[in-house]
Amino acid sequence: MSSPEIASLSWGQMKVKGCSTTYKDCKVWPGGSRTWDWRETGTNHSPGVQPADLEEVLKKGVKTVVIGRGMSEALQVPASTVDYLKKHGIDVLVLQTEKAVAEYNALAAQGVKVGGLFHSIC
C-alpha cells in the first residue's frame, strides 16, 4: 500500500489525493488519511507534537515520518518527540509545512513507507 499524495495545500486547507475531505490539520499514512484533531491528545502549539500524536501513524508500519510545523512554524516539535521516533527506528523530518508536504510527496512518489502530520495554519 502506498502513501497518498497531498494534492493541494493552502492556508487552512489541505487535500489528499483520493479523499473528498478538506483538512485543516491532517495525518497521512500508507493507504489513508484523517483529520488530526489536537483535542484528542491535548496538543497545542507549545509544547507541540507529542508521541501520542504519532502513535496511530506509527502503527501503519511507516519507516519515515514528516512533520509540518505550520506555515510560520508556530507548532513546536520537542526533542523528546524526535528522540521517541528515532528510538523506534523511524526517520523523521521536521519542516515548515509547505516544505514538509513537498518532501512527503517526493518520498511517497519514491515508494517510501512514509507518514505525516501536517498543520496548515500559523
- What does the pLDDT look like over 32-83, one tens digit per residue? 999 999 999 999 999 999 999 999 999 999 999 999 999 999 999 999 999 9
User: What are the residue boundaries of the structural domains of the chain, listed by start?
Assistant: 6-118
CB 93, CB 85: distance < 8 Å: no
**Is the domain 6-118 a CATH 3.40.1230.10 member?**
yes
pTM (predicted TM-score) = 0.97
Cell match 485543516: residue? Answer: 24
Instruction: Please give the pLDDT value at position 51.
Output: 97
Q: Which residues neighbour 121 within 8 Å (Cβ) at sequence distance 6 or greater?
A: 11, 12, 24, 70, 71
Contact 89, 105 (CB under 8 A): no
Place of cell 494534492: 7
Let me know if 54 is exposed, middle or buried by CB neighbors in 10 A (0-12, 13-18, 19+). Answer: buried
